[in-house]
Structure formats: structure tokens, C-alpha cells
Amino acid sequence: IPDLRLDRPLITFSNYCNSFNFDCLTREEHLHLPSLIILFKTLQQWQKQFNRDDLPCTRIEKDEFKKILEKFSYHSAYDIHDHNKSLENFDEAKRTIPSRLIKTNLSSTIKELFQDQSCLELTNQTHIFWFIVHALKLFTENEGQG
């Protein structure tokens, strides 16, 4: 399962997604939005509408999320006379909701590595692998929000 961190996006990703204003995009720009941006913008709208800061989890919440996504999709389809033009990016976003709206989580294996003595007590004799694990641990704790 891919970890897309939609619940804890990196600032640069958030800024990039927020540079897209659905109301100001041309029809062509709208048709070519990546599905991940569509999901992120839909998530922002869902969180705002329901005063939440998490991901939709229940079936009812996901249905509401899909309704918002469909509104964005209808906006994209507005005034499209060429039936060859496809909203496949919106279809993909809708189809991948179950696999992409997943809470960011560290696996138990990663947690075990982070707690291993070799990771916690680095010396000159420590294998480079543990320096990398330690660096990832620090990143996760300080920059990775988790």
C-alpha cells in the first residue's frame, strides 16, 4: 500500500497543490490535473466543510468525500463538447480513494529498527546501515511529523 502522506503532507507538496485554484483553471488544465492533486484538494475541501483535520474513515464520510470530488469533476466537465476528452484523472482519483486515503503510519518493523540499540548507540564501529536508519529516525521524529 503506497504511503502518500495525504494526512501529513510535506510543505512543498501542500504548496504545490495549493497553487491550483480549480475555479481559475482552463478546461484543458482541469482535464490534465494529476489525480493525487485532485484527491488532496478534495480532502482539503472535505476537512473544511466538516471542520475536521483527519481523513474520512467511515463509509458515510467517504461517500461525502466522493460527492465533493464529483462536484469538482462536474466543474471540469462543464462545457466540454468533445466527447473524446476524458475525465480519467477524476475517475482515477475516485477509484483509488480506498488505497490513497490511508493514515500515515510507521510499520512495526520500522519502529523496531528505530528502537534497536544499534540505531540508538552509534559508534565509530557501527555499520553504515545503522547510521542511515538513525538519520531516517531523526527525520521522522523532527521533519516527518511522526
Q: Are residues 82 and 34 part of one domain?
A: yes
Q: Are residues 113 and 63 part of one domain?
A: no
pTM of the predicted structure, to 2 decimals: 0.75
- In whole angstroms, give the CA distance from residue 86 to residue 70: 14
Q: Looking at the domain assignment, is residue 90 inside a domain?
A: yes
Decide if 40 contacts 9 (C-beta within 8 A): yes
Number of domain units in the chain = 2
Q: Are residues 81 and 51 part of one domain?
A: yes
Q: Are residues 40 and 95 part of one domain?
A: yes
Give me the amino acid identity at 114: F
Q: Are residues 76 and 138 part of one domain?
A: no
- pLDDT average, residue stretch 34-41: 94
The conformation of residue 23, written as its DSSP 8-state character, comes to G
Residue 114: how many CB atoms within 10 A of its CB?
17
Q: Are residues 93 and 36 part of one domain?
A: yes
pLDDT tens-place string over residues 76-109: 555 555 544 568 888 899 999 888 888 888 889 9
The predicted pLDDT at position 75 comes to 61
Residue 42: how many CB atoms within 10 A of its CB?
27
Q: Are residues 17 and 79 part of one domain?
A: yes
